[in-house]
């Protein structure tokens, strides 16, 4: 079976002969990574990503950012969005939020480190 072109459901066909073999191998490795994540998760509403997959996704995102840039019409722009979403989900689960580490950063919070509000400081100045 010869791979001349791949028919994408929502876009024009892509001529695989246009891309060097190394790029096709990169794409196959990306697909294998994503399929592995999906196959391991029975409930697709929340995908669990391992630390190894997270590291691989970070490298893939770097490649996608370099190749796709801000071109929303690029054939891999949807893959970049998906990879970014998987990375975000992993980081949300495994890394503390800045607001948890620094409550004073919370929106609408005007509490200083001393415990006094900015408004009370302004009142003292006037």
Q: Do 37 and 84 fall into the same domain?
A: yes
Q: What is the pLDDT of residue 5?
A: 42
In a domain, 114, yes or no: yes
Instruction: Indicate the burial class of 83 (C-beta count within 10 angstroms; 0-12, 13-18, 19 or more).
Output: buried
Q: Do 111 and 73 fall into the same domain?
A: no
Contact indicator for 71, 80 with CB cutoff of 8 Å? no
In a domain, 77, yes or no: yes
Number of domains in the chain: 2
Q: Do 91 and 107 fall into the same domain?
A: no
Lookup: tokens for 34:
């994503």
56-81 residue pLDDT tens: 999 999 999 998 988 999 989 999 99
In a domain, 3, yes or no: no
Q: Do 83 and 109 fall into the same domain?
A: no
CA distances from 116 to 31, 80, 99, 122 (A): 53, 44, 19, 11
Residue 117: count of CB within 10 angstroms of its CB: 13
Structural domain boundaries enclosing 115: 98-126
In a domain, 67, yes or no: yes
77-118 residue pLDDT tens: 999 999 999 999 999 999 888 888 888 887 655 555 455 555
Q: pTM score, two decimals? A: 0.63
In a domain, 11, yes or no: no
Q: CA-CA distance, 96 to 84, in Å (whole number)?
A: 18
Q: Do 116 and 91 fall into the same domain?
A: no
Lookup: tokens for 75:
């054939």
């Amino acid at each position: 079976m010869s791979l001349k072109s791949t028919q994408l459901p929502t876009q024009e066909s892509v001529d695989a002969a246009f891309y060097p073999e190394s790029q096709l191998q990169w794409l196959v490795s990306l697909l294998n990574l994503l399929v592995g994540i999906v196959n391991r998760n029975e409930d697709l509403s929340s995908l669990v990503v391992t630390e190894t997959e997270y590291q691989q996704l970070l490298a893939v995102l770097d490649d996608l950012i370099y190749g796709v840039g801000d071109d929303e019409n690029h054939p891999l722009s949807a893959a970049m969005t998906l990879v970014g979403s998987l990375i975000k989900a992993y980081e949300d689960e495994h890394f503390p939020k800045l607001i948890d580490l620094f409550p004073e950063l919370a929106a609408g919070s005007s509490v200083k480190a001393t415990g006094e509000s900015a408004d009370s400081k302004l009142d003292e100045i006037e």
